Amino acid sequence: MFLGKYRFKFLILVLIFLLIFLSTVSVLIGSISLNPLTIWKIVINKIFSTDIFEKDWKKNIEIIVWNLRMPRVIMGIIVGASLSLVGILMQALTKNTLADPYILGISSGASTGAILVIILGGAGLFSVPIGAFSLGILTSFLVFYNSSRESFSTSKLVLTGIAISSFFSGLTTFLVVSASKENEVKSVLFWMTGSLSGSNWSTVSISFVALIISSVIIYSMHKELDIIMTGDEIAETLGVNVARLRLIIVIVSSLLTSFIVANTGIIGFVGLVIPHIGRGIVGAKHKRLIIFSILMGGIFLLITDCIARTVLKGQEVPIGVITAIIGAPFFMWLIKKSSYSFGGN
């Protein structure tokens, strides 16, 4: 589908409006009823650090909106945007539209790090994210180092990622089985299927900065990403430093994936589904695809989080369960609809 310049801009404005609307709906969900106008009065006052609007609400309402519900909403947008961006990068790196953010095994490494901390009883608010992030980054270096020895190979990169992912998945299962306390097992299983419930302004701030920096870097390279999709040899003849581009893709993808898994657990299918929706609506050019996917990823995560919090009365379903239920049928339809080649044929 081809969208003209003005239609594309209009589409982006619609997505931004939808993102704001869904953010408001998401904040409204909870045991305590809130007024949408009050929500935005509180948010605007907090953003500008002054009482632009007179405080006609109770202090506990302000705490609920700003300290409890708003960080979750912002983190949902960041997670959806980040996973969508990494999905685009992984598909460009492997030249395979079935690739997703977790193909390099980074998520499995990060999961093992977090679960080790949970089971060993690590103290501190950031102990689990630090454990996950540390092992996630270590995993990415192992994968890239092994696939870059002698000469780089995308097949070697993917196979190394699969091998390391299998290793850490087995180790994770062993840790869960060996856990002695029931509450530890529940905590681990809930975390492994993804949740935004632990979001706070500290983790939101770090993840937001990581997303902004990554987005700026990747957007500035949108032409190189278009070219590399045609093949490494063609890209090199057109002046693209393929080795440098690969390294940047792996570093950005590793950092973003580690940040996300460290703070919210594993949330699957977002990085696979959203780029495909983007290509169907705005085309394959990365200049448009990146912008669309970042916004659409945030929208998708907010929708699934709202479903996760309301589908069962009085109980929250892990968000990864909802994304899997939506994403798996899409994945199967994708395989059936298109003919993909593996190995260059």
- Compute how many other C-beta atoms are within 10 angstroms of the C-beta atom of residue 316: 15
CATH of the domain at 191: 1.10.3470.10
pLDDT at 143 over 90: no
**Phi–psi pair at 336, nearest 5 degrees:** -70, -40
CB 274 within 8 A of CB 84: yes
SS3 114: helix
Q: What is the pLDDT of residue 79?
A: 96
**Residue 298, domain member (yes or no):** yes
pLDDT band at 118 (very low <50, low <70, confident <90, very high): confident
Which single residue is written with the structure tokens 């992912």?
A: 165
Lowest-confidence pick of 93-102, 139-148, 179-188, 284-293? 179-188
Range with top average pLDDT, 18-22, 49-53, 152-156, 197-201: 18-22
pLDDT, one tens digit per residue, over 223-262 is: 999 999 988 889 999 999 998 998 899 889 988 988 888 8
- Compute how many other C-beta atoms are within 10 angstroms of the C-beta atom of residue 308: 23
Mean pLDDT, the chain, rounded, equals 87
Which single residue is written with the structure tokens 């090199």?
A: 236
The stretch 169-174 carries a mean pLDDT of 88
pLDDT at 343 over 60: no
- Give me the DSSP letters along 14-68: HHHHHHHHHHHHHHH-SSS---HHHHHHHHHHHHHTS-SS---S-HHHHHIIIII
pTM: 0.90
Sign of CA dihedral 18, 82, 108, 182: negative
- 3-state DSSP helix/strand/coil percent for the chain, to nearest 5? 75, 0, 25
**Residue 24, domain member (yes or no):** yes
The length of the chain is 345
Task: Name the nearest CA neighbour of 200 among 78, 301, 94.
Answer: 78
Show contacts of 34-39: CB within 8 Å, 24+ apart: 34/61, 34/64, 34/65, 38/65, 39/65
- CA–CA separation, 145 and 138 (whole Å): 11
**Phi–psi pair at 315, nearest 5 degrees:** -145, 140
> In angstroms, how far is the first alpha carbon of the chain from the final one?
26
The stretch 171-181 carries a mean pLDDT of 81
**Residue 342, domain member (yes or no):** no
51 burial level (CB within 10 Å; 0-12, 13-18, 19+): exposed
CA 294 → CA 130, 133, 215, 298, distances in Å?
Answer: 25, 22, 9, 6
Sign of CA dihedral 113, 154, 90, 280: negative
Which single residue is written with the structure tokens 């949330």?
A: 267
pLDDT, one tens digit per residue, over 326-335 is: 888 887 887 7
237 burial level (CB within 10 Å; 0-12, 13-18, 19+): exposed
**Residue 344, domain member (yes or no):** no
Q: What is the pLDDT of residue 341?
A: 40
Percent of the chain surpassing pLDDT 90: 46
**Residue 76, domain member (yes or no):** yes
- By residue range, what is the domain housing residue 131? 5-337
CB 243 within 8 A of CB 298: no
**Residue 316, domain member (yes or no):** yes
- CA–CA separation, 148 and 247 (whole Å): 10
Number of domains in the chain: 1
Q: What is the pLDDT of residue 123?
A: 55
- CA–CA separation, 131 and 114 (whole Å): 5
**Residue 345, domain member (yes or no):** no
- Give me the DSSP letters along 82-148: HHHHHHHHHHHHHT-TT--TTTTSHHHHHHHHHHHHHHHT--STTHHHHHHHHHHHHHHHHHHHHHH
- CA–CA separation, 256 and 85 (whole Å): 9
Sign of CA dihedral 116, 72, 97, 255: negative
The single-letter code of the amino acid at 40 is: W
**Phi–psi pair at 312, nearest 5 degrees:** -115, 125
**Residue 215, domain member (yes or no):** yes
